[in-house]
Structure 1
Amino acid sequence: MTVHEGWATTLEALLDKQQRRVFAAGKEKAMAFRVTVLCENTVPVPALVGEHGFAAYVETPKATLLFDTGQGFGLIQNSLRLKKDLSKVDKLVLSHGHFDHTGGMLAFLGVRGPCPVVAHPDVLLERFRYMPVGPVEKPVSIGLPWKEAYLTTRGAQFQWLETFAEIAPDVFVTGEVPRRTDFETGDPKFVVRSNGDWTPDPFRDDYSMALKTSKGLVVILGCAHAGLINILDHLTRQTGEHRVYAVLGGTHLGFSPVDQLEKTMEALKRFDIQILAVSHCTGQGPIARLSAEFGTRFAFAPVGYVLDVAD
């Protein structure tokens, strides 16, 4: 056995061990729904790529979807390492127009070829966030890295949706989420240009995805800029399914006021969530708090995390 072969064998063992430990994957059963995290800020084993961003590969009995693309650094390598075939994706869904969720579009289209892209038209807006630039904070561009026309020449077939919709059997996108809570106020550092001035980004394009399973809804978040509780309330109202089995993805609680975290923690108890698998923009402090509160129902969701839901 060569050194290279020995390393490859060791790596496969590490990946298999990690999946058995975290996802209880013994003898694998046929799963009705499977969500695999392809891009996220952290990785649990070697040969996977971490980056600030998010993407999830979603397999259902009737469709295969990609939810976001990360920045583009890890999507292809991670999909190959985790044996998730991007060429089989039926639709790409964009959670919102930030670079860390859309930057991998060209890499994806290079593998997939022409593909339907479900998104809110506001993903095309110029987006900014106040960040330190020298001694002061200034608006820095953080939006979609390419113009619509360039993406369409590369095979992006945009399907613009502004309202709640079923995009595949038992797969839904929120569309615009009504802001009903009084504590999910958003991050004022996110801004857009309006009439020559900077105004708070309304995040009309903040999408989440819901899978309607036999155990209840599986909710997949990009960054939850619309507010986690607003999103869950909207999805349970629109789908008519009030059981929320699992929530996976970024919650943006790491950038939220302390008061919002406390009220979010209290409101989450209404949903009796069985699996809370958060990551990306949730933040280390809120992650620790959620882990303490949810105990065995909590999971961290780095690259490689798999959520299976059987019939």
Structure 2
Amino acid sequence: MNITSLLENTSTHPDIACEHGLSLYIETSGKNILFDTGSSSLFAENAKKLGIDLGKVDLAILSHGHYDHAGGLKTFLSLNDHAPLYIRKEAFGPYYSQREDGRYHYIGIDTELLSSSRLILTGALTPIAEGISLFSRVEGTEFVPTGNQSLYRKEGDSYLPDSFTHEQYLLIEEGETRLLISGCSHRGIVNIVKSATEHWCKPPTHVIGGFHLYNHRTGEPETPEVLDAIATLLLATKARYYTCHCTGEENYRYLKTKMEDHIAYLAGGDVLTC
């Protein structure tokens, strides 16, 4: 199984551009999967440079209803005429971020996509193909990111804390590999890993995704105490972690000192083989 980072906040490759967002191309033994599309059409430009034909994608997945993961969806649907898009119905909600100026900025996705005949609305557990499924039910509350405190759902004239029922996670089991992929881990990476472990009755062997440990409103990383606790719990799974996007580079560097070779950074253009 190969995973290519089509787009991420950073890039270590001179020809691969970056932006705030995430997009992954996953090649399994049976399916080619697109997981998220970044903030714009840039993911498609990078895919072309990497020699990846998005027209051959068998299915697409949106991790949650924020623009930095869904901004390229229309581009993808124009380049690929057959792949279904697996998405939570709640992903079309009116989501906002409160910035330092106190104002609320819309960060949701284009609701015109609701009219697409290629949408497949997912549930708490959605099987896709042999060894491939999506889940969205995460009930744990340990170390939920403090950055969530600036994220809201608008109901009428009120802005209510986002519950992230629109977030979902990808599970792929192939041979001895059990891969968990999360877009932003708003429900807390520790809780998400625990839910995946319950699904398989054993922990994942590999985990990819943003951990949302950076608070965009305050500009502050999580505290060392929180990062220490997260590192300890993740290490206990013995999985290999590849983080990116909303983890925050400072947070990643700190986790690296604790987790050593159990964690690495997945930048734009990087290819991972599991």
TM-score (norm 2): 0.91
1:46 has 2:35 as partner:
no
Q: Identify the residue that residue 263 of structure 1 maps to in structure 2.
A: 229
In the alignment, what sits opposite 1:113?
Answer: 81
Structure 2: distance between partners of 1:245 and 1:182: 21
Q: Tell me the CA shift for residue 261 of structure 1.
A: 2.6
Cα distance in 2 for residues equivalent to 1:303 and 1:235: 26
1:247 aligned counterpart, secondary structure? strand
The secondary structure found in structure 2 opposite 1:244 is coil
Identity of aligned residues (%): 26
* Rg larger in structure: 1
Whether the 8 Å CA contact 1:184–1:260 is kept in 2: the answer is no
Partner Cα distance (1:269, 1:129) in 2 = 32
CA drift at 1:185:
5.4
Match of 2:206 among 246, 256, 266: 246
Assess, with a 3 A threshold, how the Cα gap between structure 1 residues 149 and 278 changes in structure 2: closer, same or farther: closer
Q: CA deviation at 1:146?
A: 4.0
Q: Deviations over 1:122-161 (max 9, x none)?
A: 11001100013xxx311100110342345x1xxx511111
One of 15, 18, 26 as aligned partner of 1:58: 26
C-alpha separation in 2, matches of 1:289 and 1:55? 24
Distance in 2 of aligned mates of 1:158 and 1:73: 19
- Partners of 1:190 and 1:281 lie apart in 2 by 14
SS at match of 1:184: coil
Q: How many residues align?
A: 267
Question: 1:57-81 CA distances to partner (integer Å, 9 max, x unpaired)?
Answer: 0111111110001112421111111
Q: Aligned partners of 1:262 and 1:254: how far apart in 2?
A: 15
Q: State the one-letter code of the partner of 2:143.
A: F
Q: What does residue 105 of structure 2 align with? A: 140
For 1:67 and 1:142, the matched residues in 2 are separated by: 19
Match of 1:218 in 2: 179
Alpha carbons 1:164, 1:238 under 8 Å: kept: no
Which residue is 1:93 aligned to?
Answer: 61
Instruction: Report the counterpart of residue 181 of structure 1 in structure 2.
Output: 141
The structure-2 alpha-carbon separation of the partners of 1:245 and 1:199, relative to structure 1 and needing over 3 Å to count, comes to same
Distance 1:46 1:297 in 2: 27
Structure 1 unaligned regions, length at least 5: 1-32
Which of 149, 164, 167 is the aligned partner of 1:206? 167
Q: 2:265 aligns with which of 296, 300, 303?
A: 300
Distance change in 2, residues 1:183/1:42 (3 Å): closer
**1:195, distance to aligned residue in structure 2 (A):** 4.4
Alignment partner of 2:71 out of 84, 99, 103: 103
Query: Could you tell me how far 1:269 is from its partner in structure 2?
Result: 2.1
In the TM superposition, structure 1's runs of 4+ consecutive aligned residues that sit over 6 Å from their partners are none
Match of 1:29 in 2: none
Maintained 8 Å contact 1:49/1:73: no
> In structure 2, what is the equivalent of residue 171 of structure 1?
132
Normalised to the residue count of structure 1, the TM-score between the two structures is: 0.81
1:103·1:144 contact (CA, 8 Å) conserved in 2? yes
- Residues 235 and 262, structure 2, Cα contact 8 Å, conserved in 1: no
Match of residue 42 from structure 2: 74
Q: Which residue of 113, 116, 120 corresponds with 1:159?
A: 120
Q: Return the letter of the residue paired with 1:111.
A: L
What secondary structure does 1:137 align onto? coil
Change (3 A) 1:296 1:46: same
Q: Distance in 2 between matches of 1:157 and 1:112?
A: 11
User: Contact between 1:216 and 1:243, CA under 8 Å: does it hold in 2?
Assistant: no
Residue 236 of structure 1 pairs with residue 197 of structure 2: yes
